[in-house]
Structure 1
């Protein structure tokens, strides 16, 4: 069992809010972590994909009122979106009776409909928490390469072999496209969405060029925007926005796009082992996305992630704005002997970040110059996590 950092934060939110929505892709471990939490308090678990459990909620107010003294865990809650209206009344009634926290834990696949429904009817009553796949700060240093290749979904990472892991991810992608996404609402041909997702994997860490993608798929730009919005809403793709606060420079305005889980990106490209990955042109950009996902996961709550690029060539791969406004500038290199390029120095001269780092695959930490340290992903993740 891999200990997840999010477990402590989830327990704190449940103890301080009437309802908590734990959102994340399927198979990321939401149910496991919720059931672990349930072991420490009176609780009841309902899987809304089960006909028997859905039948119990044919009269939701009557059933849930009978369990007002328990934490009610509702899994796959997007299957019953009308339930939110009932939860609002039950939460308000419980507040008047002195039961103000720890009432409902809602697990969902982060559909836009779920966010909209809960936002409309549970405003001021619900807290949101995003659960990502396992990141590099949650595994041993010796397992980081396995995590990079296989991705952070538990069944993929812990598979008995690279071949079994790749098969699991390929089946996961197929199931998501053919069954899960249609259940969440959009009616998009599975093969079209697979092609789009695969194109994003080929262009991992690249600037979004909607016109080029639209031509390749034979659709218009608005359709590409809708496809991208869907994958972002489902926490499967990250749209990293450019830094925009420096009005004195001509800045790149297009976002960079990443398939968030490196293992899924590799499965879309047919890459099943470390040897195949290192020989593939996507290796450098895949490592960049892998680093960004880990650092975004461990950064203090309220941090913002951007990249910085000017028309003159100044560039920072990842710019983290910490609570309070301090900037950390991070360059990501796949080389064991990383060098800081001129563009990074120019960008730092523009932005004056408080800290400068180069993340590389080695384990030693050492200064590249008086202002910049080279260090491993695990070490930088520990530095960021210490600020939480």
Structure 2
């Protein structure tokens, strides 16, 4: 079993809050992590999608009261929204005898839906954590290339061959298109949804132009936005917001879009091997998306993140700001011999970040200067700094 970095954070949250919501895409390892936590204490696990488990919750108050001394793990809880008022009542009742932590662990694969449902009933009673796919710091350095190609879903990364890994990811994509998205209100054919998702993959790291996508698919722009929001809610796509500043510059206002898991990106584009990836025009943007997703997952929860692009060509791939680290400007390059673009230096003159980094795809963890206050560093090295909160 691969140790997940979120484990210690999850255990602390369970000690501090009566309910913890663990969010993450399907098959990312939420159930495995939850069962690992449950094995260390008295716990009961219920899968809301399993009829026999739903039957146990015919009278949820009676069942949960019967298990009030145990950690109750509720998987895919967003499919049973009527539970949340009951959970609130039981949490408040348990506070009187001092039962303040570790009552419920709620697992969900649709962040927006679960946040809305739980926020209405469990405000102040629940902590939210997101479990991403496997990350660079959870694996040996030698596994980074495989992680980039196959992505971080455990079944994909640990498959016995690239072909089996690709088949697993293609099946996962089909499951989302034919089951998950329709269950959240998708009303257009699965084939149209596949075309949209594939187009978004070809636009990896580009600015969102919903009207152009709508024209290509012969649907309206509102529909494109709605289904992109669904993919974002299911933690499959990321919309990286533009950085706002009061510099009087004309700045790009559209978000940049990324398929969050690089393995799903490569499956959508039909790239089965590392050699095929290196020969494809998306290779640079694929690495950029892989690096940005890794860094965002390593950054503290309170971090403010975005990208910067002005009309005069000034551009920064990723900006991360935290109270302890200040503002960090990050340029992403796959090559170990690359230099920052002129636009990066221009953008740094505009924003005056405290730290300037060039993230490259090498394996030598020793950082080195590349001029004008910019430090070249590996993806793993900068991820460690963000996790530790020291630049």
Equivalent in the alignment of 1:148: 148
Equivalent in the alignment of 1:360: 360
Given the alignment of the two structures, is residue 383 of structure 1 paired with residue 389 of structure 2, yes or no? no
Aligned ranges 1:89-168 → 2 under 5 Å: 89-168=89-168
CA distance in 2, matches of 1:85, 1:386: 38
Moved more, 97-106 or 110-119: 110-119
Equivalent in the alignment of 1:212: 212
Equivalent in the alignment of 1:318: 318
Q: How many residues align?
A: 388
CA contact (8 A) 2:23 2:131 kept: yes
RMSD (Å), alpha carbons: 1.2
**4+ residue runs over 4 A deviation:** none
Given the alignment of the two structures, is residue 351 of structure 1 paired with residue 377 of structure 2, yes or no? no
CA distance in 1, matches of 2:225, 2:155: 31
* Cα distance change, pair 265–135 in 1 and its aligned pair in 2 (3 A): same
Post-superposition CA distance 1:167-197 (Å, at most 9, x none): 0000000011111222334434211211111
Aligned ranges 1:169-318 → 2 under 5 Å: 169-318=169-318
CA distance in 2, matches of 1:192, 1:145: 32
Q: CA deviation at 1:275?
A: 0.3
Equivalent in the alignment of 2:31: 31
CA distance in 1, matches of 2:278, 2:247: 39
Structure 2: segments with no counterpart, 5+ residues: none
CA distance in 2, matches of 1:108, 1:342: 43
Q: CA deviation at 1:370?
A: 4.8
Q: Secondary structure at the match of 1:74?
A: strand
Equivalent in the alignment of 2:5: 5
With normalisation by structure 2, the TM-score equals: 0.97
Q: CA deviation at 1:251?
A: 0.6
Q: CA deviation at 1:97?
A: 2.1
CA contact (8 A) 2:238 2:260 kept: yes
CA contact (8 A) 1:240 1:256 kept: yes
Equivalent in the alignment of 1:20: 20
Q: Secondary structure at the match of 2:371?
A: coil
Structure 1: segments with no counterpart, 5+ residues: none
Q: CA deviation at 1:248?
A: 1.5
Post-superposition CA distance 1:200-245 (Å, at most 9, x none): 1000000001110010111111111101111111110000001112
CA distance in 2, matches of 1:185, 1:58: 26
